[in-house]
Chain A
Amino acid sequence: MPCCKGQVLTYNGRQVCLHCVVLLALALGAQALTPSHHLSPADLDRLKAFLNQPFTDLESAYYSIVGLSKLGIAVSDEHAACQFLKSQLDPSNIDSLFFASEASQALSGCQIPLSNETRDLLLAAVSEDSTMSQIHRSVSTLSSLGLPVASQEVVSALTTRITKEDNVLAIILALQTASRLSQQAELGGILEEIEDLAARLDDLGGIYLQFEEGLEATAHFVTAAYALSDHVDIEPPLKEDQVVQLVNSVFSKKSWDSLSEAFSVASAAAAFSGNRFHIPVVVTSQGPAAVSHRQPMLQLQVTDILSQPLPSISVQVESAHAVASKSVVLSQAPFTLRDGIFELNFMDSQPASGYYQFAVAVTGDSRLVANHVEMKVKVSTEVAINNMDLSVVDKDQSIGTKTTRVEYPSKAKTSFTADSHQNFAMSFQLVDVNTGVELTPHQTFVRLHNQKTGQEVVFVAEPDSKNVYKFELDTAERKSEFDSISGTYALYLIVGDATLENPILWNVADVVLKFLDEEIPSVIQPKNLYVPKPEIKHLFRDPEKKPPTVVSNTFTALVLSPLLLLFILWIKLGANISNFSFTPSCILFHLGHAAMLGLMYVYWTQLNMFQTLKYLAIIGSLTFLAGNRMLAQKAVKRYRPGC
């Protein structure tokens, strides 16, 4: 592979390879990104058909004519198109002039009439005060009409507009405009904008790289970047992975909403397949990537983005190793080109059946991008069954075994009988038809099918250390699988694998099984899993055990008894209410206090806290006032006992 894949800088006239060692190391380890989307021939036809719409106005005519020319085909009726352009042209409008002149360039023998006013109008539009779109269109028109353009003035106008209109679409238009200017002009500043724009791209999952402005902006960026880079002959600062990601973004959409979108995709496709620096390569296999003895050729199509063949390239397999064993089967083998398809006879290396990982390299053009591809190739083969031996073996080995050999695909002539004292045994070998190597496919099943009851039981046959498959049926042990139903069972052998071209379903023999404790053979019922289950009744928590009522009543009485004691003591002490004065405040106080205690009882039985607090506030304040008066009177009486 050419050494200078990375950025190439000119330094004192010598070319210095940067990142060479780094890239080599990366190439050894990492897997390079390859395009997951491109324009297949069907997509290309769809794009061409979409662009080939009848013209509605000058803009749509521009998109159709120029878009189709970029894809390499001409409009159906060039003369009518030219007439349409001339009739729709408005010489006082820059946009109209732009569409007409660009489209007329794409048609052969179409000339747009010019006048001095037109030229003056176009030249006047090139100034710092016009929008970027106006500058782009006027410069493009002047250039396609063959009129002289003051390149330096344009460059300064563009630079000013870039700083004023700092958005992606404006900068892309600036790049396009710069590609139409003279090569002697100072285009370095505008060239640097490519790198700034590339930094603004959004990376989606490492697979897509696009502007948030959408597909059109991304496609126009590709067109403009390569147009300018080709014009000044300096490689654009885009890494290989970025180029592939841009390819994925532009070509992931296969049906387009508008003519302008289709036009942008067509321009980008032309840019990717025709620029001087990066040509993305698309490697696809013709049909599934599978080879076998009947179809030993691995066929690959190697094209560019537009599904066109790449001239003068060579394709070779760098290495091919088996996925399972990692042993290298092929190294540095070239493909041969035949009718535009690259072929390799993989079966010449006599690979065993299975999957192989290929590393394919496309060389021949230094511009190729994503030219190292990894692909998985399947090698299929056919299987043959050898030495199928069926026998009925007695458990205690007293009677000699009788082995019957059956050849595929015929069935054994006699049926085999096995009861609970005997085992039924089967052994066979699976070999590759072409190489004679023993195979161990993924699926080797033995199926016993009872014709009468429709019951079937499937077992797996396992290979032993010598890759001989053995299957033994112990009637006593396995009677539960058969539901102990005796009868004639048809024995089938099923062999299958992804790498086998001939999967096998073979009715080998009939086996009569006799089980002990035979039940009356009944039609197999599906198991009743979906009947309603017994209802669960909710069990409330058992209330806690309470003591018997006698005990609680006794204790209630007991607890109230100290009250009696209190009254007795008080009487003994001589407490009396002889000093009770019948003043209103005194009566009111006692009544209020009694009411408060009564309220407590009512609270316990009926009320809630809020109501209680309300009543308590009322009664309490009354009691307080009365009590205050009463106690004051008492205090006065105490201090002046005479009164």
Chain B
Amino acid sequence: MSSSVFSVLSKFVAEYRRSTPAKLKVVDAYLLYILLTGALQFFYCVLVGTFPFNSFLSGFISCVGAFVLGVCLRIQINPQNKSEFLSLSPERAFADFLFAHAILHLVVVNFIG
């Protein structure tokens, strides 16, 4: 059983390496970074406690929000999805990404205390 899982995984990784354009891989790396940061924050909170709660929340929400925005960007610039985003150019997607991040940062810094 485990061998089949392992073989599926290795096939998936190979396929990913081969067919994904470089740009998307860059964004994926960014997403992985965000994920790890969020997980570590959560782990710290579980370990030590929720004091100060507002700081934990703002940090965690920042990671979650950034991850979501990153995923949106990835979807929008994926050439395979071009049919769904006919009017949306990658530049426009990036501009939206930056604008949304500006608002996210404003809220996060307000709440971080």
A residues neighboring B (CB under 8 Å): 544-547, 551-552, 555, 558-559, 562-563, 565-566, 569-570, 573-575, 593, 596-597, 600-601, 603-604, 609, 612, 616, 620, 624, 627-628, 631-632, 634-635
Contacts and interface: CB of A to CB of B under 8 A. Distances in A.
Contacts of A601: 109
Given A551-B47, A552-B48, A566-B30, 4 more contacts: A551-B48, A555-B40, A616-B102, A631-B92
Given A597-B105, A616-B102, A570 B91 contact: no
Nearest to B48: A547
Given A558-B40, A559-B44, A609-B110, A631 B32 contact: no
B40 A631 contact: no
B33 A600 contact: no
B72 interface: no
A609 B25 CA distance: 37
18 contacts: A551-B48, A555-B40, A555-B44, A559-B40, A562-B37, A565-B32, A566-B29, A566-B32, A569-B29, A570-B26, A596-B102, A601-B109, A603-B109, A604-B112, A616-B102, A627-B95, A627-B98, A634-B91
B33 A565 contact: yes
Interface string B9-46: 00000000000001001100110110011001100100
Nearest to B44: A555
Contact of A569 (B32, B48, B95): B32
Nearest to B50: A544
A207 B47 CA distance: 81
A562 to B, nearest CB: 4
Interface string B88-112: 0101101100110010011001101
Q: Is the interface of A mostly helix, strand, loop or mixed?
A: helix
B41 A600 contact: no
Nearest to A546: B51
A150 B47 CA distance: 114
B89 A612 contact: no
Contact of B22 (A573, A597, A627): A573
B106 A600 contact: yes
Interface of B: 22, 25-26, 29-30, 32-33, 36-37, 40-41, 44, 47-49, 51, 89, 91-92, 94-95, 98-99, 102, 105-106, 109-110, 112
A245 B98 CA distance: 89
A551 B45 CA distance: 12
A562 B109 contact: no
A609 B103 CA distance: 12
Contacts of B48: 547, 551-552, 555
Contacts of A632: 91
A552 B89 CA distance: 43
A524 B94 CA distance: 93
Contacts of B94: 631
Contacts of B33: 562-563, 565-566, 569
A544 B51 contact: yes
Contacts of A551: 47-48
Q: Which 7 A-B pairs have the closest CB atoms?
A: A631-B91, A566-B33, A562-B36, A569-B29, A547-B48, A555-B44, A562-B33
Max chain A C-beta neighbours (<10 A), residue from B32, B92, B94, B98: B98
Nearest to B89: A635
Nearest to A630: B91
A545 B48 CA distance: 10
B106 A612 contact: yes
Nearest to A552: B48
A269 to B, nearest CB: 85
Nearest to A572: B29
Contact of B26 (A573, A609, A620): A573
A575 B102 contact: no
A118 B13 CA distance: 134
A627 to B, nearest CB: 6
Contacts of B37: 559, 562-563
A129 B44 CA distance: 103
Nearest to A605: B109
B49 A570 contact: no
B58 to A, nearest CB: 10
A575 B28 CA distance: 12
Max chain B C-beta neighbours (<10 A), residue from A616, A624, A631, A632: A631
Max chain A C-beta neighbours (<10 A), residue from B32, B47, B92, B102: B102
A593 B105 CA distance: 12
Contacts of B41: 559
Contacts of B105: 596-597, 600
Contacts of B91: 631-632, 634-635
A601 B105 CA distance: 10
A600 B106 CA distance: 7
A547 B49 contact: yes
A575 B25 CA distance: 9
B100 to A, nearest CB: 13
A457 to B, nearest CB: 63
A291 B29 CA distance: 113
Nearest to A628: B95
Contact of B102 (A555, A570, A620): A620
A547 B25 CA distance: 38
A559 B26 CA distance: 20
B109 A604 contact: yes
A573 B29 contact: yes
Nearest to B31: A566
Max chain B C-beta neighbours (<10 A), residue from A544, A551, A558, A566: A566
A552 B56 CA distance: 13
Contacts of A631: 91-92, 94-95
